[in-house]
Structure 1
Amino acid sequence: MSAYPNRKIVIFYSSIGYGHISAAQAVKEEISKLNPKAQVLLQDIREFMHPIWRRIDERLYWFVAANLPECFDALFHNVQARGNSALSLSQLPNDYPEEKVLEFLKNLAPDAVLATHYGSAQVLGNLREKGLLTDIRIGWLHTDFFEGYLPRISKRIDRTFLAHHELESRWLAAGVPAEKVVTSGLPVCICNDDRGREAILNAIGLYAHWPTVVITSGKEGVSNYSAIIEGIAEGYQDHIQIIAVCGKNTRQQAMLNELKGRLAERIIIRVFGLVPHNDLLSWVKAADILITKAGGMTPVEAFAMSTPTVLIDAVSGHERENAALFTRLGVAEQAVDPKHAGKLVNSLLADRKRADAMRKAQREFKENINIARIAEFALDETFVPVVPPPDFGVENGAPVLNMNETLAELDAQVPAELELLLSYSTSQKPQRIVLENPFGHIAIRIHDTVYSANYIADPSVDPNFLQHMGLADYLYGVCRPSPLQIHTNTYGMAYGRENIGLRVSGIA
């Protein structure tokens, strides 16, 4: 009997790449293992886009990714820079209308919402930041291996699941609370083909005793397969067989079928289009080497099967970030171009110790995988989202709790008679998200009192041109100390500014 009651869970994914779908399906299966009665709905976040823009956007994405890698790389880093500099993530461009997503969730009334794509998680965070979805658990599985501005998303939702403990260290360093981050690994699909190598290869007309290489590059079949195979053929003088999975790329298939007639008989090529994922997993399991792009999911599936992997630079941006981490961990090698990929294949086939070292690193990498953590979060009825009240931090609203105790603890750790308080970003009116940033501010704390200039004080109404208050009110106050003081400008600074305290001891 299941330990969990009936639950309703929505998993958002993006159909722009197969990895997000694969991850969502694997999480759904894991949830069903723990609670067969749970209702799990997979939903493509791109269905909320305008249908015309959706088609244009996908075609543009793959055209730029496949043909203009440096442009794609620049666009990727520009998006990350904008995400890091934006005052609020809700100010960033958004292809997924929040009102449609909210209506969808209201109609379904799920207990938990998961996302396997950061765009989905960002929309959910926007809604939560606006005081919505307060009674629904929100989790996000990051299916890549880069940081960018993404820790900011994690701060606004309940739980983020990361693929490797190195990423968790980065998230914590970026200020994400430890209770919001879990290293779960990626929910890879495990090959359920019980056949041995011989049976798998014989089924497609190949030999078990020949070295076997699989080439796959997503459903779009990006990169130059012909150049990869020519690179192998130039340096490998013995028999070898290659399984080329081209996805929907019919042009790629035609080029490979033409290449077959020009290669020596010692090289066998089997060309496939879009194949069932289980077939691809079986071939990777039977292969000596996999050549693939550095998406989040396919390489990790190969690592789970201890298949030595060569990464091609087919899609730049986030995949270059992925590749950098994979190569640093020793679980794959990175090719600079298609011909170089062929050379790396040849060197791995010739150097057993090198291939074995990669397999060892892959087994260590696999130890990160524990996707039960994702399912347990989705099913945990005791988990209550921690959501600030709607008026948190605004003037006359809900104040920070335990601020005096926290400041007392700080004083005990770093005692000082004098403290310079420096800050920047100011607002002209009370607001939680500050939109203006003209000048900075400086104050001085002597013992228990903070002094700073109130430059708009009117002596006939408020003689306190030099304001003085306790540090708790200066940082976290929500009640106006005097008529001409402005919230987040002269008090309640922590809600509208970045504050630095420079503490000095030993001065009378």
Structure 2
Amino acid sequence: MPVRVLVLSADFGAGHQAAAQAIAAACRSLSADCDAVVVQCHSPLLGLIRRAYLWQIRHTPDLYRRLYRLPPARPLRWLVIRVLGRPVRRALDAHTPDVVVGTHPFPAGAALHLLKRRGRRAVPVAMALTDFAPHGFWIWPGVARYFAASPEAARELIRRGADPAAVRSTGIPVRPALAEASRAPSEGVRRVLVIGGGLGLGPIADAVAALLRLPHPDLRVTVICGRNESLLARIRRHHGGDPRLCALGFTVDVPGHMRTADLLVTKPGGITCAEALALGLPMLLLDPLPGPEEENAAYLAGTGAARIVGAGHVAEAAEELLFRHPEQLEAMAAAALRAGSPRSALTIAAEVLALAGAAR
């Protein structure tokens, strides 16, 4: 009978789903006798929470920053269970897993609650964190494993109350193929990759416009706008005549574009930046949003792999690294490789399969 692995994600940004797919793929690659399934949990109330989050970070960022830093109270945890209880219950009933992994704390927390209430055989639940600094919502009683982004994040989890015996420093899960990949920048040109995440958030259009004002014919700018079709149309309308620009919508091959880039300009989302670290790609981090982006940016800048810049200064920073002081770019690339975890999903998968085997 195959080992059944259920990986739960939430409809709260593309990164959580990408991490879930990476773990499932790694589990299947390590065991031919593994049935690894990814379920993205949906709920009308979750959609409302998501829209409220987007409204807050755009219109009341200081308020959101203060709310984010508060420890999650018990009523908020009960709200999570209420919001996602039904879709998580359906997933548990449909797949009868030997182990559950969450790449978002909401469905994983709901799964913990439901599994305890059922009184069935114990099914371990693991949390694979998708940001470089852990939020308190990741910490639930009874978690079998926490997979943290770094040793610093592991220590912070323990400080916040996680069981030290359950915490592992693995890196954020990235696609298993990155374990064998390396960058191969194009010769004769300097290529900047600009990414706004799956939602295309942030001052992406301003950053692209600033980069294209640089007077370097050997500069190439590729921008990935995600599912933000209006952003893509705007960039093509204003800059489509510039042969140095390649403007794209949503793509699953972000690592392929990273492999040929010299520099990444991005919002500091956990998955995008973890993939960049795995490939040794230096980063300029644009105007971090309150909450996890600010914490991600602080960690990444501390590694030496990234610099935090505003959209108004991105061209100056890119020109310095690409054309004036390329030795600084090389130092950042080396720092990224040191901080990266290209085998993270495989390391997590090995632990997950061991948990499943112990629970059977």
Q: TM-score, normalised by structure 2?
A: 0.88
Specify the SS of the correspondent of 2:192. Answer: strand
Q: Which runs of 5+ in 2 are unaligned?
A: none
Specify the SS of the correspondent of 1:371. Answer: helix
More RCO (CA 8 Å, sep 6+): 2
- The answer to whether the Cα contact below 8 Å between 1:11 and 1:41 also exists between their aligned partners in 2 is yes
How many Å separate the matches in 2 of 1:281 and 1:316?
Answer: 26
Correspondence 1:103-118 to 2 at 5 A? 103-118=90-105
Correspondence 1:130-169 to 2 at 5 A? 130=117, 132=119, 135-150=122-137, 152-153=139-140, 155-169=141-155
How many Å separate the matches in 1 of 2:94 and 2:249?
Answer: 39
1:462 maps to: none
- The answer to whether the Cα contact below 8 Å between 1:164 and 1:368 also exists between their aligned partners in 2 is no
How many Å separate the matches in 2 of 1:193 and 1:382?
Answer: 30
Instruction: Find 1:188's aligned residue among 162, 174, 194.
Output: 174
1:283 maps to: 257
| Alignment pair present for 1:298 and 2:284 | no
More helix by share: 2
Pairwise CA distance, 1:147: 2.8
Q: TM-score, normalised by structure 1?
A: 0.64
Compared with structure 1, are the counterparts of its residues 152 and 131 closer, same or farther at alpha carbon in structure 2 (3 Å cutoff)? farther
Larger Rg: 1 or 2? 1
Specify the SS of the correspondent of 1:383. Answer: helix
Correspondence 1:423-442 to 2 at 5 A? none
CA RMSD of aligned residues (A): 2.9
Specify the SS of the correspondent of 1:11. Answer: strand
- The answer to whether the Cα contact below 8 Å between 2:200 and 2:228 also exists between their aligned partners in 1 is yes
Compared with structure 1, are the counterparts of its residues 82 and 132 closer, same or farther at alpha carbon in structure 2 (3 Å cutoff)? farther
- The answer to whether the Cα contact below 8 Å between 1:89 and 1:126 also exists between their aligned partners in 2 is no
Pairwise CA distance, 1:319: 1.0
Instruction: Find 1:96's aligned residue among 83, 87, 92.
Output: 83
Identity of counterpart residues, as a percentage?
Answer: 21
Pairwise CA distance, 1:36: 1.6
Pairwise CA distance, 1:288: 1.0
- The answer to whether the Cα contact below 8 Å between 1:293 and 1:311 also exists between their aligned partners in 2 is yes
| Alignment pair present for 1:13 and 2:9 | yes
Specify the SS of the correspondent of 1:287. Answer: coil
Specify the SS of the correspondent of 2:235. Answer: helix
Correspondence 1:95-494 to 2 at 5 A? 96-127=83-114, 130=117, 132=119, 135-150=122-137, 152-153=139-140, 155-189=141-175, 190=177, 197-198=185-186, 208-234=187-213, 236-260=215-239, 268-275=244-251, 277-278=252-253, 280-313=254-287, 315-335=289-309, 337-349=310-322, 350-367=324-341, 369-380=343-354, 381-384=356-359
1:202-243 deviations in whole A, cap 9, x for unaligned? xxxxxx412111111112211233321333345555531111
Matched letter for residue 143 of structure 1: T
How many Å separate the matches in 2 of 1:152 and 1:197?
Answer: 40
How many Å separate the matches in 2 of 1:88 and 1:328?
Answer: 35
Specify the SS of the correspondent of 1:96. Answer: helix
Specify the SS of the correspondent of 1:113. Answer: strand
- The answer to whether the Cα contact below 8 Å between 1:187 and 1:371 also exists between their aligned partners in 2 is yes
Matched letter for residue 119 of structure 1: F
Q: Name segments (4+ residues, structure 1) moved above 6 Å.
A: 192-195
Pairwise CA distance, 1:9: 1.3
2:25 maps to: 29
| Alignment pair present for 1:45 and 2:46 | no
How many Å separate the matches in 2 of 1:193 and 1:372?
Answer: 14
